[in-house]
A = this chain, B = another copy of it.
Amino acid sequence: MMKFTVLTLFPEMFAPVHESILKRAQAAQLIEVGLINFRDYAASKHKNVDDVPYGGGAGMVLKPEPLFAALRDLPPSGGRRRIVLLSPQGEVFQQQKAKEWSWLDELVFICGHYEGFDERIRRLADEEVSLGDFVLTGGELAAMVMMDAVARLLPGVLGEKASAEEDSHSGGLLEYPQYTRPPVFEGMEVPDVLLSGHHRRIERWRRKEALRRTFLKRPDLFAKVEFQAGDFNLLEELIQEH
């Protein structure tokens, strides 16, 4: 069982963890989710968690004390625990990070605040991670995204079929086009090869289309593709077609 602990000022934002895959994973006791409102650790009478910045400037800055106190109060993890600070200055989150984290026993997320946090809070974290190159009002949605990406990699969460499927589509390519019924919808037809029942041709077509898409949409991904025997023939065909 993997534990996700979130330190946040907005625990009520985490309703999505009670839905969909995270809900099922909790019901099956594959994951556990703990939400801690670190405002509860504010020492002042008015439970202040932020204050004006030294040196001036607009906005409020998260104070260090409540987060230090909240982290110190965590029960022992009994295993490999990683403390992650969500911040636009962190390393950009990618699938490789989700895989790495999926081996941990506990992942602790510290959710930042859009107006900034005291620099000393950085000392609490083992690593600092950003969801991407865009600005959010807080780390809550980022934490949920990362929980989803990690949870689906844990054994049993998606079920055998889906995980097997993922493996077969990996290797760093974008996925090939998928089709289901009806064979013709508003004039748009399913490619003949998929209706042929010819397993070998279907595999070849799918691999070729996955290569095509990656080549046209995300050529930057090619650097990490695990090529298979036959790929270079397919790439040569693609180059002649384009």
Contact = CB atoms under 8 A, between A and B. Distances in A.
Interface of A: 10, 12-16, 19-21, 50-65, 68, 88-89, 92-95, 97-98, 114-120, 123, 131-138, 140-142, 144-145, 148-149, 152, 158, 161-162, 164-166, 168, 174-175, 177-183, 185-186, 188, 190, 193-195, 199, 202, 205-206, 213, 217-218, 221
Contacts of A193: 55
A178 B58 contact: no
Select the residue from A88, A89, A141, A185 with max chain B CB neighbours within 10 A: A141
Contacts of A16: 13-16, 140-141
Given A59-B165, A93-B132, A120 B174 contact: no
B180 A52 contact: yes
Contact of A134 (B93, B181, B221): B93
Main secondary structure of the interface of A (DSSP, over half): mixed
A6 to B, nearest CB: 13
A94 B132 contact: yes
Nearest to A196: B55
A97 B55 CA distance: 33
A12 B19 contact: yes
B137 A21 contact: yes
B179 A118 contact: yes
Nearest to A95: B134
6 contacts: A57-B165, A65-B182, A93-B134, A95-B133, A123-B188, A132-B132
Contacts of A202: 55-56
